[in-house]
Homo-oligomer: A and B are copies of this chain.
């Protein structure tokens, strides 16, 4: 009933864009991100732990600790985040759920789906956090609380 991505992944993407948009060169606390985006602090902590383990973010404990992007926002593509949180299958699997996609056994939707999947991968693989963070502030605001 949900959209294309799981809640986990939606939260991870929103948080990453938000952090990139802050353009802060210190760590930002997970609590403040959770509040700004109106996401459960506990749950967001788990999501960001995953992104940290995937080398997309850095974390630091203690006062003034928090998380930060592990690289310049211009070097983090959306597909990294999606793969870390949803797994490769979400970007490579068969649209009808068959165990293998393509090769010997393409399903009846395979050709049609490949065109779309290619576009999705192209978009996610070429869009960086920087580009999203640099958008019209009006759009940016709409990942934060006031929009909900």
Q: What residues make up the interface of A, taking CB atoms closer than 8 Å to B?
A: 1-7, 10-11, 13-14, 17, 78, 86-87, 89-90, 93-99, 105-110, 112-113, 115-116, 119-120, 123, 127, 132-133, 135, 139-143, 147-148
Contacts and interface: CB of A to CB of B under 8 A. Distances in A.
A86 B1 CA distance: 5
A120 B5 CA distance: 15
B127 A96 contact: no
A16 B135 CA distance: 43
Contacts of A140: 108
Given A108-B143, A139-B108, A1 B116 contact: no
Nearest to A133: B108
A123 B112 contact: yes
Contact of A14 (B3, B90, B96, B110): B96
A4 B92 CA distance: 10
A97 B13 CA distance: 10
Contacts of A105: 141-142, 147
A120 B112 CA distance: 9
Given A3-B93, A5-B95, A90-B3, A17 B108 contact: yes
Contacts of A95: 3-5, 10
A10 B115 contact: no
A136 B139 CA distance: 45
